[in-house]
């Protein structure tokens, strides 16, 4: 599915715009409709067939707006009933970027309803558009001239405009929005991205997908929804909402580009690849796609959390972007293939390689979905993850699951009281919620307990292990030894990143605390002083950024 960018023209409220008016302009109007849209072609830049599409678009808006508005006398044009639109084509920026610029220029005093506007299209683009696509493009830009997205702020209908969650507060549009999406919200989400000519002037694409008045038009249908029709009522027009197109928030293979700095994105009606490993053709035809671009937006850093009925996607160590898939089950979210590193055309996520920019053309490539993560079905109880060197998300059960030997596994326990074992390799294991036992095995591992009272043991009986242990919230136990022997006696140690005696954290050792010594110095981590733990003269543990470690209280024997 391809889409292209649409923008409203940067025309001031004083009516100043760089458009010429020809005395011999050709005129078309919206026939005998109560609301008349007079389209004036100010030069010969448009063909007769293209002009006919302008008339068709004017007729369509006149089916929505059914009430007359007061005539206006303009010194240049005389009396105008109800709106005059000057249309032309010319160079804007070349092929496949901004295809149209449009906006109102003259406004009625007091109501802000436009009486005069302009539409200009890029000649490099419109000649290549099929008739249906050109109609949608013209219909979209004509909507801006009528005031959609261009007079919202003037009427006080745009809220949170300086945040990542701008909203349109018109009561009629909000009512239709809630009906269609099954919500009970106080406003309608507005686009926050795309630059000054797209943001704050369109419906939010991650919510509305292919609706006509989002910032991009898509191949196929772009319905003029009852939300858009009702928004015109909020602007002051008399409208027939029932004349709107049928619109459903779900669609076939919708694509969502997510970048660093985008804040919180909420997507309604997202279609997953489905549970299991063999989705049927109908599921594949509807599956939607998230395209993540930016440093750290990788499968290794991705975190999935089922929060009530929603799936929340975040990335470890990153706070400037997240995605919430409303009413979506985690087991339906996956990329499929024939094993780690393989690619297919079946999946929900594309991780854009460093050095590349996310564009809609990414979705046209076959085999772009790399099989880099697996998601367990809700009822799976498997002793091993599915693939080596792969990111795996388990489920809410009490899982007892291992990685593979000689494999760098990433295992996410999610909910449940899990037992995770990385075996050999440099593993990343996250316990998630619950009271988890997290075992790294041999290799240099990173263990994260998450919430709950967790037990973390990174040691695997080999030399040169440098493990990182992060307990998270709860009373956690960090293992530096067992009943038989201290760990890390041969060129290695464990780094404990978040020891907190106030939460009840403990450090497990072999035998008596009197056999161990501690030293304070800034060894690693932040600027704060660390606690170094020795067995004899051998460093076996570093407790980062704290000196609140008292062996007689905080050490426990295995």
List own/partner pairs for 483-489 with CB under 8 A and 24 or more apart. 483/510, 483/557, 483/558, 484/510, 485/510, 486/510, 486/535, 486/540, 487/459, 487/540, 488/459, 488/538, 488/539, 488/540, 488/541, 489/535, 489/538, 489/540
State the pLDDT at residue 338. Answer: 57
Q: Give how far Cα 137 sits from Cα of 98, 140, 141, 380, Å.
A: 11, 5, 6, 48
- Range in 136-150, 175-189, 415-429 with the lowest mean pLDDT: 175-189
- Range in 138-147, 221-230, 267-276, 526-535 with the lowest mean pLDDT: 267-276
SS3 249: coil
Mean pLDDT score, 118-127: 88
State the pLDDT at residue 358. Answer: 63
5-9, 72-76, 148-152: which has the highest mean pLDDT?
148-152
The rounded distance, in Å, linking the Cα atoms of 109 and 80 is 14
Segment 237-283, tens digit of pLDDT: 999 999 998 887 655 567 788 989 888 888 888 889 888 777 777 77
The rounded distance, in Å, linking the Cα atoms of 222 and 247 is 9
Instruction: Reply yes or no on whether the pLDDT at 449 is more than 50.
Output: yes
- Structure token digits, residue 71: 């005539």
Q: 0.85 exceeded by the pTM?
A: no
User: Binning pLDDT at 50, 70 and 90, where does residue 16 land?
Assistant: very low
Instruction: Reply yes or no on whether the pLDDT at 30 is more than 80.
Output: no
**Counting beta carbons within 10 angstroms of the beta carbon of residue 482, is it exposed (0 to 12), middle (13 to 18) or buried (19 or more)?**
middle
- Higher-confidence residue of 125 and 49: namely 49
- Range in 124-138, 288-302, 399-413 with the lowest mean pLDDT: 124-138
Instruction: Reply yes or no on whether the pLDDT at 491 is more than 70.
Output: yes
State the pLDDT at residue 128. Answer: 75
- Whether 3-146 shares its CATH topology with 376-558 is answered no
Domain 376-558 matching CATH 2.60.120.10: the answer reads no
Instruction: Reply yes or no on whether the pLDDT at 233 is more than 80.
Output: yes
Asked if 453 contacts 434 with a C-beta cutoff of 8 angstroms, the reply is: no
User: Binning pLDDT at 50, 70 and 90, where does residue 295 land?
Assistant: very high
Asked if 525 contacts 535 with a C-beta cutoff of 8 angstroms, the reply is: no
Sheet containing 255-259: give its strands across: 255-259, 289-293, 349-351
Segment 504-543, tens digit of pLDDT: 999 999 999 999 999 999 999 899 999 999 999 999 999 9
Closest CA to 64 of 142, 161, 6: 142
State the pLDDT at residue 24. Answer: 30
User: Binning pLDDT at 50, 70 and 90, where does residue 160 land?
Assistant: very high
The rounded distance, in Å, linking the Cα atoms of 272 and 264 is 20
Instruction: Reply yes or no on whether the pLDDT at 297 is more than 50.
Output: yes
State the pLDDT at residue 250. Answer: 57
Instruction: Reply yes or no on whether the pLDDT at 339 is more than 60.
Output: no
Average pLDDT of every residue of the chain:
88
State the pLDDT at residue 26. Answer: 37
State the pLDDT at residue 158. Answer: 98
- Higher-confidence residue of 366 and 504: namely 504
The rounded distance, in Å, linking the Cα atoms of 253 and 71 is 45
State the pLDDT at residue 131. Answer: 73
State the pLDDT at residue 2. Answer: 31
Domain ranges in the chain are 3-146, 376-558
- Higher-confidence residue of 29 and 176: namely 176
Residues contacting residue 182 through CB under 8 Å, at least 6 positions apart: none
C-alpha torsion 15→20→22→27, nearest 10: -60
Mean pLDDT score, 214-228: 87
Segment 50-98, tens digit of pLDDT: 999 999 999 999 999 999 999 999 999 999 999 999 999 998 887 766 7
The rounded distance, in Å, linking the Cα atoms of 106 and 103 is 10
State the pLDDT at residue 367. Answer: 43
- Beta partners for residue 323, in sequence order: 265, 313
Q: For the domain 3-146, what is the CATH code?
A: 3.10.170
Count of residues making up the chain? 558
Helix (H) or strand (E) holding 518: strand 516-521
State the pLDDT at residue 517. Answer: 97
């Amino acid at each position: 599915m391809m889409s292209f960018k649409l923008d409203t023209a940067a025309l001031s409220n004083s009516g100043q715009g760089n458009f010429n008016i020809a005395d011999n302009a050709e005129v078309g109007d919206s026939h005998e409709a109560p609301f008349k849209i007079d389209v004036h072609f100010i030069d010969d830049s448009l063909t007769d067939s293209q002009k006919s599409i302008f008339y068709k678009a004017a007729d369509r808006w006149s089916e929505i707006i059914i009430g007359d508005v007061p005539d206006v006398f303009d010194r240049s044009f005389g009396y105008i009933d109800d709106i005059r639109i000057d249309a032309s084509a010319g160079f804007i920026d070349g092929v496949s970027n901004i295809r149209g610029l449009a906006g109102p220029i003259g406004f009625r005093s007091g109501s802000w309803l436009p009486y005069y506007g302009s539409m200009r299209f890029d000649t490099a683009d419109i000649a290549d558009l099929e008739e249906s696509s050109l109609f949608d493009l013209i219909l979209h830009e004509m909507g801006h001239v009528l005031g959609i997205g261009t007079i919202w702020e003037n009427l006080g209908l745009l809220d949170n405009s300086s945040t990542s969650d701008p909203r349109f507060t018109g009561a009629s549009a909000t009512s239709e929005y809630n009906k269609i999406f099954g919500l009970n919200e106080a406003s309608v989400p507005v686009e926050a991205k795309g630059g000054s000519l797209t943001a704050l002037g369109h419906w939010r694409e991650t919510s509305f997908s292919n609706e006509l008045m989002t910032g991009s038009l898509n191949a196929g249908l772009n319905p003029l929804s009852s939300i858009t029709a009702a928004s015109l009522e909020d602007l002051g027009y008399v409208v027939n909402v029932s004349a709107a197109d049928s619109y459903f928030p779900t669609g076939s293979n919708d694509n969502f580009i997510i970048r660093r700095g985008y804040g919180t994105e909420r997507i309604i009606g997202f279609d997953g690849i489905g549970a299991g490993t063999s989705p049927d053709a109908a599921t594949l035809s509807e599956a939607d796609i998230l395209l993540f671009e930016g440093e750290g937006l990788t499968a290794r850093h991705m975190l999935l959390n089922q929060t009530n009925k929603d799936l929340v996607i975040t990335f470890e160590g990153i706070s400037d972007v997240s995605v919430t898939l409303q009413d979506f089950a985690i087991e339906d979210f996956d990329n499929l293939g024939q094993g780690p590193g393989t690619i297919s055309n079946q999946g929900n996520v594309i991780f854009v390689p460093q050095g590349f920019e996310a564009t809609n053309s990414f979705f046209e490539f076959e085999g772009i979905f790399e099989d880099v993560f697996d998601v367990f079905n809700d009822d799976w109880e498997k002793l091993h993850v599915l693939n080596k060197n792969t990111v795996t998300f388990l489920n809410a059960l009490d899982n007892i699951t291992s990685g593979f030997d000689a494999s760098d596994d990433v295992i996410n326990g999610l909910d449940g009281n899990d037992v995770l074992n990385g075996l050999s390799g440099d593993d990343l294991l996250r316990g998630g919620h619950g009271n988890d036992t997290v075992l790294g095995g041999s290799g240099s591992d990173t263990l994260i307990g998450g919430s709950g009272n967790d037990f973390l043991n990174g040691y695997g009986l080999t030399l040169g292990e440098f493990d990182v242990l992060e307990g998270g919230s709860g009373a956690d136990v960090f293992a530096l030894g067992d009943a038989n022997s201290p760990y890390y006696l041969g060129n290695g140690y464990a780094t404990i990143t978040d020891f907190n005696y106030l939460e009840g954290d403990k450090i497990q050792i072999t035998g008596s605390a009197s056999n161990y010594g501690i030293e304070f110095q800034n060894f690693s981590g932040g600027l704060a002083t660390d606690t170094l733990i020795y067995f004899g003269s051998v460093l076996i543990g570093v407790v980062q950024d704290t000196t609140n470690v008292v062996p007689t209280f905080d050490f426990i024997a295995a």
